[in-house]
């Protein structure tokens, strides 16, 4: 199989962490592409018309895309159990929350990277951060019991979302006032799968 990726995407990292956790890294070949929202790589748009990463070219069927779809496929492929039926709706909700954090954080980066200073909207940037801030707060107050339980895809998604905040928005200080989440992430970020996929 071939995984199309670009740069330090938190969505790609989520897939990579899952591959490490489920012992499938040897089954994947990585192919770097350009995923610019203004001029995406034709090799990428041929697989995913939206031009977003990651995308997975499978050996046994059509290519698939969106990190949630890819993670679900890879989990099912080896029966890893990272989508446990006993808590499936909580797991999926938490994964969606983490993905929304990633999307807002990436859009903040895009606002600065692909627009001139005059075109940029500070209010829009702060609106994206407000989404992240609310999500971090609710993770800290409502979801630490889930995060303290057995590993599932929600742990991976939240870990990658927080890692991206450190990588791109460290000056925002997401840890302030979120001690439970901070402590959880301090431990989770030391997992071998997280260490091996740390963005550079």
pLDDT tens, 46-60? 999 999 999 999 998
Where helices occur in the chain by DSSP H, the ranges are: 10-21, 42-45, 67-78, 88-113, 122-142, 144-147, 153-169, 179-188, 192-195
| Alpha-carbon distances, residue 45 vs 12, 18, 23, 179, 190 (angstroms) | 16, 24, 29, 41, 35
Q: Residues of the chain with pLDDT > 90: what percent?
A: 94
For the chain, give every residue range classified as CATH 1.20.1050.10: 85-191
Q: Which of 91, 197, 188 is nearest to 143 (CA)?
A: 91
Q: How far apart are CA 96 and CA 91, in angstroms?
A: 9
Q: Given this model, what pLDDT does residue 37 score?
A: 87
85-191: CATH topology: Glutathione S-transferase Yfyf (Class Pi); Chain A, domain 2 (1.20.1050)
2-78 homologous superfamily? Glutaredoxin (3.40.30.10)
Does 101 score more than 90 pLDDT? yes
Q: How far apart are CA 88 and CA 84, in angstroms?
A: 5
Q: Which of 133, 125, 113 is nearest to 177 (CA)?
A: 133
Look at 24-28, 35-39, 155-159, 181-185 and tell me which has the smallest mean pLDDT. Answer: 35-39
Does 36 score more than 90 pLDDT? no
| Alpha-carbon distances, residue 166 vs 122, 176, 190 (angstroms) | 20, 13, 14
For the chain, give every residue range classified as CATH 3.40.30.10: 2-78
Q: How far apart are CA 163 and CA 185, in angstroms?
A: 9
Q: How far apart are CA 155 and CA 162, in angstroms?
A: 11
Q: What are the structure tokens assigned to 189, written together?
A: 């970020």
Q: Given this model, what pLDDT does residue 102 score?
A: 98
**pLDDT confidence band for 32 (50 / 70 / 90):** very high
Q: Which of 200, 142, 192 is nearest to 166 (CA)?
A: 200
Torsion angle of the four alpha carbons 24, 197, 172, 50, in this order, in degrees rounded to the nearest 10? -60
**pLDDT confidence band for 74 (50 / 70 / 90):** very high
Q: How far apart are CA 112 and CA 139, in angstroms?
A: 27
Does 2 score more than 90 pLDDT? yes
Mean pLDDT value of segment 69-84:
98
Q: Given this model, what pLDDT does residue 33 score?
A: 95
Does 200 score more than 90 pLDDT? no
Does 7 score more than 90 pLDDT? no
């Amino acid at each position: 199989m071939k995984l199309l990726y670009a740069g330090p995407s938190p969505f790609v990292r989520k897939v990579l962490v899952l591959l490490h956790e489920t012992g499938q890294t040897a089954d994947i070949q990585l192919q770097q592409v350009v995923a610019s929202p203004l001029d995406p790589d034709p090799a990428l748009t041929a697989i995913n018309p939206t031009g977003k990463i990651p995308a997975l070219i499978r050996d046994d069927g059509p290519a698939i895309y969106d990190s949630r779809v890819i993670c679900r496929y890879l989990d099912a492929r080896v029966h890893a159990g990272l989508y446990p039926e006993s808590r499936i709706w909580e797991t999926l909700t938490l994964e969606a929350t983490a993905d929304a954090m990633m999307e807002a954080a990436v859009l903040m980066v895009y606002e600065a990277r692909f627009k001139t200073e005059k075109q940029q909207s500070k209010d829009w940037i702060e609106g994206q951060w407000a989404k992240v801030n609310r999500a971090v707060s609710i993770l800290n107050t409502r979801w630490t019991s889930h995060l303290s339980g057995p590993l599932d895809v929600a742990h991976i998604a939240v870990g990658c979302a927080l890692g991206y905040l450190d990588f791109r928005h460290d000056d925002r200080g997401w840890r302030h006032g979120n001690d439970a989440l901070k402590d959880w992430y301090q431990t989770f970020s030391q997992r071998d799968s997280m260490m091996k996929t740390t963005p550079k």
